[in-house]
Chains A and B, each alone.
Chain A
Amino acid sequence: ETAVFQTPNYHVTQVGNEVSFNCKQTLGHDTMYWYKQDSKKLLKIMFSYNNKQLIVNETVPRRFSPQSSDKAHLNLRIKSVEPEDSAVYLCASSPHWGGSTGQLYFGEGSKLTVL
């Protein structure tokens, strides 16, 4: 049963455009993440938030910016997309922060295609 909801599931756009992906979790978790899964299926963490505060910000281009209004929501904005941004963006949540079990609950993903 899905408890991490992502929209949109698919988005096709052109280079230079702005894109936003939304994520909401109904599990009551404190921590949320954005992962990027590329064409080779590699999963790389981009950001993590604990209770609306940014905890992890991996080395991603500055055109990527996360936004969190409360601990149940974590959105991702890409200001000016590039071809290498084509990927599946996976939102995830976990119950705890700081030495937790680290178990992640993933959304279905948002597939971005940049033409």
Chain B
Amino acid sequence: GDSVTQTEGLVTLTKGLPVMLNCTYQTTYSPFLFWYVQHLNEAPKLLLKSSTDNKRTEHQGFYATLHKSSSSFHLQKSSVQLSDSALYFCALSEASNTDKVVFGTGTRLQVSP
């Protein structure tokens, strides 16, 4: 079945530094990829989405590029802020008749002053 792999459980950075959170996926269907962000005691919210190969998508300073050749959708930001501290989920939508969204295990980003 479909799966999403996030290799880092926790990433700790000082504010102002760049960050990359890894995401790879497996699917037999045409993929839709997403990044969701969940702040403490809040619901997950969509941050980015893409289904277009090799096209960079950006939102709120974060960006990601879907690379179908390597089955990757890494999340990046050039300069993290304290407010970016949160749990980040990579997710995959099956472009099939089940409309199921599968989530990775999440990466917690902690930004220190």
**Chain A interface residues toward B at CB < 8 A:** 4, 31, 33, 40-45, 48, 50, 55-56, 90, 94, 96-109
Contact B99 A45 (CB under 8 A): no
Q: Given contacts A41-B106, A90-B43, A106-B43, are A99 and B34 in contact (CB under 8 A)?
A: no
Q: Which residues of A contact B102 (CB under 8 A)?
A: 45
Judged by a CB distance under 8 angstroms, whether B56 is at the interface is no
Asked if residues B97 and A42 are in contact (CB atoms below 8 Å), the reply is no
Give the tally of cross-chain contacts (CB within 8 A): 69
B17 interface hit (Cβ, 8 Å): no
Residue in B34, B43, B44, B106 whose beta carbon sits within 8 Å of that of A102 in the complex: B34
Interface 1/0 per residue, B33-77 and A, CB below 8 Å: 010101000111110010100000000000000000000000000
Determine if B105 and A42 form an interchain contact, defined as CB atoms under 8 angstroms apart: yes
How distant is B32 from chain A, measured CB to nearest CB, in Å?
5
B42, B96, B98: which has the most chain A beta carbons within 10 Å? B98
Q: Is the CB of A109 within 8 A of B43?
A: yes
Chain A min CB distance to B47 (Å): 11
A43:B89 contact, CB within 8 angstroms? yes
Q: Is the interface of B mostly helix, strand, loop or mixed?
A: strand
Q: Using a Cβ–Cβ cut-off of 8 Å, how many residues does chain B contribute to the interface with A?
A: 27
Judge if B103 is at the interface, Cβ distance under 8 Å. Answer: yes
Complex: how many Å from CA A83 to CA B70? 41
Tell whether A99 pairs with B99 under 8 Å between CB atoms, given A41-B87, A41-B106, A43-B89: yes
**How distant is the Cα of A42 from the Cα of B91 in the complex, in angstroms?**
12
Contact code string B76-99 (vs A, CB < 8 Å = 1, else 0): 000000000001010101111111
Q: B46 touches which one: A43, A55, A104, A107 (CB < 8 A)?
A: A104
- Per the bound structure, the CA–CA distance linking A41 and B44 in Å amounts to 11
B93 adjacent to A102 (CB under 8 Å): yes
Report the bound CA distance from A105 to B36 in whole Å: 10
Among candidates B45, B93, B103, B105, residue contacting A100 with C-beta atoms closer than 8 Å: B93
